[in-house]
Amino acid sequence: MDSPSPYYQPPPSRWPIIGSVALLAFASGFVLFLAKSDAGAYLMVAGGLLLFLMLSGWFGTVIRESLAGKLAGQVDKSFRWGMVWFIFSEVMFFAGFFGALFYARNIAVPGLAEAQLLWPGYAGGWPTAGPGSKEAFTPVAAWGIPAVNTLILLSSGATVTWAHWGLQNGRRWQIVLGLLLTILLGATFLGLQAHEYLATAFSIRSGIYGATFFMLTGFHGAHVTLGAIMLCVILGRVLAGHFTATSHFAFEAASWYWHFVDVVWLLLFVFVYWL
């Protein structure tokens, strides 16, 4: 069915309702899983698979529409606004966890140490597993793996931009090589993060330090994984010849997202590892 207006209006679609059913199944499964019910994990997997099916189907539809030239001009501009605001919402999600980190370090922990009423003898300081814990641990040193990881992610930001230059100038080998390098650097980053996780002397249960450390780095790692998956899809589309020098919004969206996880990492490096 053709769109009734020059601004492309998609026909009715089954993907959104499938996505809602998938998320409801996943959420219900998660609740059951937390309640230690055996059915929970199965329901979560089913919901996850359905969600994957929905995302593939939905994005597949959009890609076909894009190749048919339906998403140019004003629609393309909408996509740009949409991606910008989506990334802004992600920034605010991380802002919540950074807020918790700053509040705990600068207000909650010093307040506990100063009051002495609740926990006599608690000295405070950072890192801390809190006054109720006897656990002693050394935090991850910033100038080891985390510094290397910073270098890796910053380089990957450069390689994805280099790939973009290749795309703008029609140098196919440069796009492919740039994207491959970016994905490789991202995978190396994730590998090193996993190595670091296994080597830490503390866990997510280690008081407020462990909680903020693992939640912030964990959600960041999840976003790097998502960004790397996006770049893999983009690489596939490059190989399939989907992009031209002037029309390649999907590539730009993925690279914006990659730069966003890069910036979040810089903040993590400074405030979680270094200071």
Partner 1 sequence: MDLAATRHTHHETVSRGPMRWLTTTNHKDIGTLYLWFSLLMFLIAGSLALLIRAELFQPGLQFLQPAFFNQLTTMHGLLMIFGAIMPAFVGFANWQVPLMIGAPDMAFPRLNNWSFWLLPAAACLMLSSFFVPGGAAAAGWTMYPPLYIQGGIAYDMTILAIHLMGLSSILGAINIITTILNLRTPGMTLMKMPIFVWTWLITAYLLVAVMPVLASVVTMLLTDRHFGTHFFDAAGGGDPVMFQHLFWFFGHPEVYIMILPAFGIVSTILPTFARKPLFGYVSMVYAVASIAILSFLVWAHHMFTTGLPAGGQIFFMYSTMLIAIPTGVKVFNWVATLWRGANSFETPMLFALAMVCLFTIGGFSGLVLAIVPIDVQLQDTYYVVAHFHYVLFAGAAMSILGGVYYWLPKWTGHMYDERLGQIHFWLTAIAFNVTFFPMHFLGLVGMPRRIPDYAPQFADFNMLASIGAFVLGASQLLFLYTVIKCIRGGAPAGDKPWEGATTLEWTLSSPPPYHSFTTPPVLTTDTPHGLA
Site for partner 1 in 35-54 (CB under 8 A): 35
* CB-nearer residue toward partner 1: 155 or 218: 218
- Residue 165 CB, nearest distance to partner 1 (Å)? 27
The yes or no reply on residue 82 touching partner 1 (CB under 8 A) is yes
| Per-residue CA distances from 142 to 13, 64, 145, 270 (Å) | 48, 45, 7, 8
Taking the complex as a whole, how short is the minimal distance between the CB of residue 31 and partner 1, in angstroms? 5
Which residue, among 114, 65, 140, has the nearest Cα to 57 in the 3D structure? 65
Using CB under 8 A as the binding rule, the residues of this chain from 7 to 26 that contact partner 1 are 7, 9-17, 19-21, 23-24
- Which 178-207 residues touch partner 1, going by CB under 8 A? 203-205, 207
> Shortest Cβ distance from residue 41 to partner 1 (Å)?
14
Q: Which is nearer to partner 1, 119 or 269 (CB)?
A: 119
Applying the rule CB under 8 A, the residues between 52 and 81 that interact with partner 1 are 58, 74, 77-78, 81
Among 50, 97, 146, 189, binds partner 1 (CB under 8 A): 97
Minimal distance, residue 32 CB to partner 1, in Å: 9
The yes or no reply on residue 217 touching partner 1 (CB under 8 A) is no
Of 145-153, 208-216, 224-232, 263-271: span binding partner 1 (CB under 8 A): 208-216
Contact letters for partner 1, residues 99-118 (x by CB under 8 A): xx--xx--xxx-xx-----x
Q: Which of 189, 202, 209, 243 binds partner 1 (CB under 8 A)?
A: 209
